């Protein structure tokens, strides 16, 4: 009887904890080991040891189902609290630290306190208040939805990087961003009475992306919309050189071994001009993939977005006048016997079709193909360097439409606009709209059409 009564009491206590922490957010900070500190005395609580004083610094190391703290083993999970802010990896945190076998070191704190460490890291206090309020609402919605989807199977809700949304703890808090959080307390974006998926990014480059094109699932409110206000950002236009070898190595897991990369071609774009399909051609074959997959493979910080352009563009994200660089034109010499044999071998291997081979032999601007097909080009007995290819190229490899990414020797030159995956709210676009007098609610219904702002209980 006493055992049953004790079990009931434990169940009630666990339910009360669950209710009390229903709005707590579990943020993954670290892995199996960590050094933590506080300006106040820390207390460790565990099921097998009760409350244990830790002093003002501690070394944690997870080993199986235990964690060694300053040389003493405790059964996981454990919670660490302090009367002062907790510290880890050079940052200060509100709430408590929780250590679990499954997720490592977590910062567990109230939702609204969590958001105070997100806004300054994502947008900054200098932005207009309505842009900050819009960010607070979508960040709240995002983390609540992630909590529902992640907590049970991952043991945490979000990480503290831009893989979810950037969170830097208490040190970055400002009065203005705290005000934006407080003024929107409990407000979320809803669609059909459920939490909406509210991804966001830095700069759309003029037109946001459809969720279906980036992550595969279609949402009625994430179909892609044009920016409502013209603006400039530090990434309104950019270019980056990426080597052929880096591309080959990066996409090997999703494309296999394509050999030496001959061409990277944008083969499909959406209504806003964003690349949604990219085909990579190599000496051993070709592979078509989502542009978003290609970007993640080569590095999202290297290739800032999939809003790619054939040429360098102006600094404004809505600039329609491309600054078209002229490529040096060298008259294509006749193919040597060796070159012709190599072209025939590549055609036989399936790199090119017979039609494409004929096109290369008869096209008066065949110089555009030379580097791509890996042939040694010579004129007058002297080797000529590959011509930087900064123009839309003829259809290559049987691919119609689109354009080839510019080539310059061993590198491809990617020209683009914006930064990020492009889905949902554009932070620089939101800033521009707020500067023009748009409210947070109006900004959000622009980027997530068909949704509404409501309270979360």
Domain finish residue from 52, 83, 113: 113
Distance CA(147)–CA(255), nearest Å, equals 33
Same domain, 81 and 34: yes
Residue 443: inside a domain: yes
Q: How far is CA 9 from CA 1, 4, 45, 69, 331, in A?
A: 12, 9, 19, 30, 87
Domain boundary among 303, 325, 347: 325
Residues 39 and 93 in one domain: yes
User: Which H helix or E strand runs over 264?
Assistant: strand 261-269
Please, are residues 72 and 60 in contact by the beta-carbon 8 Å criterion?
A: no
Query: Does residue 371 belong to any structural domain of this protein?
Result: yes
Residues 22 and 109 in one domain: yes
Query: What are the phi and psi torsion angles at 123 (to 5°)?
Result: -130, -35
In this structure, is residue 334 part of a structural domain? yes
Q: Which two structure tokens, joined as six digits, stand for 249? A: 């190595």
Buried b (16+ CB within 10 A) or exposed e, 52-61: bebeeebebb
Q: Based on the fold, state whether residues 304 and 263 are members of the same structural domain.
A: yes
Q: Is residue 399 part of a domain?
A: no
Q: Are residues 321 and 342 in the same domain?
A: no
φ/ψ of residue 46, rounded to 5? -145, 165
Do 367 and 298 fall into the same domain? no
Please indicate, yes or no, whether residues 107 and 25 belong to a single structural domain of this protein.
yes
* Residue 378 scores a pLDDT above 50: no
Q: Is residue 395 part of a domain?
A: no
Domain boundary among 79, 98, 113: 113
- Distance CA(141)–CA(189), nearest Å, equals 6
Q: Say if residue 340 is in the same domain as residue 381.
A: yes
pLDDT band at 312 (very low <50, low <70, confident <90, very high): confident
Residue 139 domain-assigned?
A: yes
DSSP annotation of 351? S
SS3 of 239, please? strand
Q: What is the average per-residue pLDDT within 166-178?
A: 97
Q: CA 123 to CA 131: how far, in whole Å?
A: 9
Domain count, the chain: 4
- Cα→Cα distances 258→81, 350, 375, Å: 53, 12, 17
Same domain, 100 and 148: no
**406-451 pLDDT, tens digit each:** 999 999 999 999 999 999 999 999 999 999 999 999 999 999 999 9
Whether residue 59 has pLDDT greater than 60: yes
DSSP sequence for 35-77: EEEEEEEEEEEETTTEEEEEEEEEEEEEETTEEEETTEEEESP
pTM to 2 decimals?
Answer: 0.78
Encode pLDDT of 235-245 as tens digits: 999 999 999 99
Please check the confidence at residue 335 and state whether its pLDDT lies above 60: no
Does 109 fall in a domain? yes
Residue 221's contacts (CB-CB under 8 Å, 6 or more residues apart) are 191, 196, 448, 449, 450, 451
In angstroms, the CA 83 to CA 94 distance is 10
* Full domain range(s) for residue 35: 18-113
Instruction: Say if 345 falls within a structural domain.
Output: yes
129 lies in the same domain as 173? yes
- Residues 439 and 123: their CA atoms lie apart, in Å, by 16
Indicate whether 109 and 24 sit together in one domain.
yes
Q: Does the pLDDT value for residue 256 go beyond 80?
A: yes
- Residues 95, 125, single domain; the answer is no
């Amino acid at each position: 009887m006493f055992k049953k009564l004790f079990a009931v009491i434990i169940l009630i206590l666990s339910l009360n904890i669950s209710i009390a922490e229903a709005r707590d957010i579990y943020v993954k900070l670290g892995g199996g080991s960590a050094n933590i500190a506080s300006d106040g005395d820390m207390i460790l609580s565990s099921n097998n040891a009760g409350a244990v004083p830790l002093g003002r610094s501690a070394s944690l190391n997870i080993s199986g189902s235990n964690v060694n703290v300053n040389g003493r083993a405790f059964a996981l999970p454990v919670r660490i609290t302090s009367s002062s802010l907790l510290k880890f990896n050079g940052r200060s945190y509100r709430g408590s630290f929780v250590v679990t076998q499954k997720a490592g070191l977590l910062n567990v704190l109230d939702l609204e306190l969590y958001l105070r460490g997100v806004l300054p890291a994502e947008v900054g206090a200098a932005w207009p208040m309505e842009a900050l309020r819009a960010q607070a609402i979508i960040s709240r919605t995002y983390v609540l939805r992630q909590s529902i989807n992640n907590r049970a199977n991952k043991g945490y809700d979000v990480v503290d990087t831009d893989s979810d949304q950037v969170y830097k703890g208490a040190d970055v808090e400002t009065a203005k961003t705290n005000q934006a959080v407080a003024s929107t307390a409990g407000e979320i974006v809803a669609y059909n009475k459920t939490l909406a998926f509210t991804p966001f990014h830095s700069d759309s480059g003029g037109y946001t992306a459809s969720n279906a094109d980036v992550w595969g699932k279609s949402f009625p409110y994430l179909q892609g919309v044009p920016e409502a206000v013209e603006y400039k950002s530090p990434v309104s236009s950019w270019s980056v050189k990426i080597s052929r070898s880096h591309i080959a190595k990066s996409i090997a897991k999703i494309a296999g071994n394509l050999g030496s990369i001959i061409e990277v071609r944008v083969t499909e774009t959406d209504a806003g001009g964003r690349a949604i399909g990219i085909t990579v051609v190599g000496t051993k074959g070709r592979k078509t993939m989502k542009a978003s997959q290609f970007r993640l493979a080569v590095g999202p910080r290297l290739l800032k977005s999939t809003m790619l352009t054939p040429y360098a563009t102006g600094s404004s994200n809505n600039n329609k006048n491309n600054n078209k660089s002229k490529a040096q034109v060298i008259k294509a010499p006749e193919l040597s016997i060796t070159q012709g044999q190599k072209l025939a071998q590549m055609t036989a291997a399936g790199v090119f079709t017979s039609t494409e081979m004929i096109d290369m032999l008869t096209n008066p601007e065949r110089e555009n193909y030379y580097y791509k097909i890996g042939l040694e080009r010579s004129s007058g007995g002297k080797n000529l360097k590959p011509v930087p290819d900064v123009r839309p190229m003829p259809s290559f490899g049987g691919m119609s439409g689109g354009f080839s990414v510019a080539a310059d020797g061993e590198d491809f030159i990617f020209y683009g606009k914006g930064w990020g995956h492009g889905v949902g709210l554009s932070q620089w676009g939101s800033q521009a709209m707020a500067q023009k007098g748009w409210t947070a609610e109006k900004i959000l219904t622009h980027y997530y059409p068909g949704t509404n702002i409501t309270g979360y209980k």
